[in-house]
Amino acid sequence: MKTAFGKLTGSAVMDKVAEYREVGRDAFLAQYAGGVTSRTTWLSVEGELFPAKAIFAAAHVPSVAPKSFNTSDTYRYSRELNFELVVIEKGRVKSTRSAIDDLDELSGSDVPTKQLYFGERFIRDAKVRAKVIERANGKCEHCGGEGFKKPDGGIYLETHHIISLAKQGPDSEKNVIALCANDHREAHFGADAEHLEVQFKSKLAELNSAKKRRITRSAD
């Protein structure tokens, strides 16, 4: 999409989210945001929160400072690029993207953030993520392609909630699939995303029944 300063794409945003996960918060903010960014507006991806303005600024072409984006621009970019934005004030969720579309409904709903995105859910999320990556054994569970090698020798794959947490999808291995970066982008931004969702579901059902068979056999 075009912004007031240049160009921003969903795929570039996902690249920066992946980079943020790899390098960590401090290194990311030091590189792209002079070490600081808004603690109010957050991008929710796969149940994890990322500082929206810093991610958008880093993904922007040409690169800009996070403070170039005001909050209403940030809303608009999230909406147009199909991301979910979460606004947190004083430790509480003030609104989510759906609230921006329909302000009356959710704004000021005052849901404790812990219940939604922080704390236990985040920790559980990390465990589910690790288990799914282990299950995938270095290969995309959709196309079978191998992820690329990381500097630490591990294989790079991404995890995707087939039914998103925002849509009340369960935070369990049965709802999370390991994907190559390309398939993950398509799952979020492709014209065929709905069809992919169906394929992912049947793939996981297959994996789960294979696992059950293995367990039954070893019990014999």
Q: Which residues bind Zn ion (CB under 5 A)?
A: 140, 142-143, 145, 160, 180, 183
29 residue type, one letter: L
Range 199-203, long-range pairs (CB < 8 A, 24+ positions): 199/142, 200/142, 200/160, 200/162, 201/162, 203/141, 203/142, 203/177
Rounded least distance, CB 191 to Zn ion, Å: 16
In the complex with Zn ion, the residue whose CB is nearer, 46 or 69, is 46
In the complex with Zn ion, the residue whose CB is nearer, 53 or 142, is 142
Q: Helices 25-32 and 10-23: crossing angle, nearest 10°?
A: 130
Q: In 3D, which of 123, 111, 129, 213 has the Cα closest to residue 173?
A: 129
What gap in Å lies between CA 111 and CA 185, rounded to an integer?
Answer: 30
In the complex with Zn ion, the residue whose CB is nearer, 145 or 169, is 145
Q: Which residue is nearest to Zn ion (CB)?
A: 140
Q: Are 43 and 31 in contact (CB under 8 A)?
A: no
Show the 3-state SS of 154-206: CEECEEEECCCHHHCCCCCHHHEEEECHHHHHHHHHCCCHHHHHHHHHHHHHH
Rounded least distance, CB 181 to Zn ion, Å: 8
Rounded least distance, CB 132 to Zn ion, Å: 12
In the complex with Zn ion, the residue whose CB is nearer, 54 or 178, is 178
In the complex with Zn ion, the residue whose CB is nearer, 38 or 171, is 171
Rounded least distance, CB 137 to Zn ion, Å: 14
Rounded least distance, CB 176 to Zn ion, Å: 9
- Farthest CA pair distance, the chain: 66
In the complex with Zn ion, the residue whose CB is nearer, 96 or 158, is 158
Rounded least distance, CB 6 to Zn ion, Å: 26
